[in-house]
Amino acid sequence: MDPCHFVRILVGNLALKFPSTESSSSCYCKIKLKNFPHQVATIPQQDIETNSCSSQKPLAACFSLSKSQIDNIVSKWGSSYKVSIEVYAGGSGSGSTCGLSSGKLLGKVSVPLDLRGAESSPCVAHNGWVTIGKNGSSLQLCLTVRTERDPRFVFQFGGEPECSPQVFQVQGSVKQAVFTCKFGFRNTSDRNLGSRSSLSESKAPRKWLRSLKTDKDQPSKERKGWSITIHNLTGSPVAMASMVTPFVPSPGSDRVTKSNPGAWLILRPGCGTWKPWGRLEAWREPSFTDAIGYRFDLFHDDITTAARSRSGSRPGSGSGSDFGFSPQNQFRGGFVMSSTVEGTGKCSKPEVEVGVHHVTCTEDAAAFVALAAAMDLSMDACRSFNQKLRKELRQQQTQNFVV
C-alpha cells in the first residue's frame, strides 16, 4: 500500500516576555492559517531576564494539508502563504458574549511557510523570540513554527456502510479495492457476539459483553445488534465493529444522551477468536446543531484496561465533518486517524485517513476502517426515535448475522 502525501504545520513553544513596566494576568493567542479554522492556545509568561526559548513547552496548534491543498495554495499564494499568531490579554479566546470583546489585542506576527520544501524534508520556519508590541512596545513572543511530512493511507467507502460496500484505497486519482464490508444483525438468540467466530473464548472483560445477553425486559424503542465485518479480497474477515450497548432514548425523550450512550466494540481476529481492540461510545449532544458526542478507548495488549481515550463532538447536520482519534500527545506522537461523517439525511461514503506509523499490516488498516464505519453508523443510531430509519437499518425477525 502506498501512502498519500500530507504536510503538518506545527506551532509551539509559546511564551511571552513583557517589559518591566507592563504585565497581564492571562494571555492567549489565535493561530490562523488562511482557509482553515483558527486555533486557540494560552501563552505562559516568562521572566524578562530569561533569554532562553525552551523547546519543552507543549505544541499549541497543528494544521494538516493534503497534496491537493498544497498544490492549490502554492498556485494561488506561492511564498506569501503565512501562519499568523495574534496575541491577546485577558479572556480565554472562546469568543465574545453580548458584544463584549474576549480580550485586548497586544500584537501579532506572521511567519512565511515553504510548503513545497516541506514535502521533501522537515523545515523550521521560525524558532526564537520576536518583538510583537504595538506603538513601540517591546513585548516579545517566543515561538517555534515548523513543517514536516505526514504521510497517510487514505481509504474511501464505495457506498454507505449499511449497504455493505467495497472499500477502496485512494492514491491521488487512483482507486484500488482493498476491502469489502458486510453489514448485518446478530441473531437475537445468540448470547455471545458471533458464536461461530469463537468470541466467547475471548478474554474480554464481562463488563464489555453484558449488553449482549438477551433481556426480555428491554424497552421496545432501541437500536441494537448492528454489526459490520471488514473482509480482505480473499474473503477472510480482518476486522469487525459490533454494537454491544443498544442505542436507547433517555426516559421522557426521543434522544440518546451522554448519560446513557450506545457503544461499539471494534474487534480484530487473533488465534482463532475475535479480540477487542477498542470501544466507541456515541450520543447526541444537547445542542441546536444536533452534534454527535463520542468517546473512544483503545485497549492495551492487556485488554482489561483502556490505553488511550479521545472525546469530542461533531455536527450531525449540514455538510458533515470529521471524526478524529489521536492520543493525548497527538502532536508529538503524530497523526493517528480521521474520517469524514456526513450530515443527517445525506448519502455518506466515509473517507478514512490513517497515519502510516500506525499501519504495519492489512489488519491494522482494517481496524481503523471498522472504527470509521461504526462512527458513521452511530449518526443513524443516534437519530431521534420519532424518525424512521432506512430499511437497511431496520432489523428483520428472520435475518441472521453472518461473518
Q: Give the model's pLDDT for residue 208.
A: 44
pLDDT given at position 131: 92
Give the pLDDT means over successive 10-residue stretches in the chain (403 positions): 91 89 80 94 82 72 93 90 94 52 85 92 94 80 94 95 96 94 77 42 44 44 94 97 96 91 95 92 80 86 41 44 52 74 71 93 96 94 89 65 47
- Grid coordinates representing 276 are 477487542
CA angle 323, 329, 330 (to 5 degrees): 35
User: What distance in Å separates the CA atoms of residue 110 and residue 132, rounded to the nearest whole number?
Assistant: 10
What structural domains does the chain harbor? 6-149 (2.60.40.150), 152-393 (no CATH)
Residue 63 confidence (pLDDT): 93
Q: Give this prediction's pTM.
A: 0.78
Instruction: Report whether 164 contacts 183 (CB < 8 A).
Output: yes
Check if the beta carbon of residue 322 is closer than 8 Å to that of residue 310. Answer: no
pLDDT of residue 321: 46
Vertex 262 angle, CA 261 and 264, to 5°: 135
152, 210, 158, 186: which is closest to 357 by C-alpha? 152
pLDDT for 275 equals 94
- Compute the half-sphere exposure of residue 90: CA atoms within 13 Å on the CB side of its CA: 8
Nearest to 31 by CA among 41, 22, 23: 41
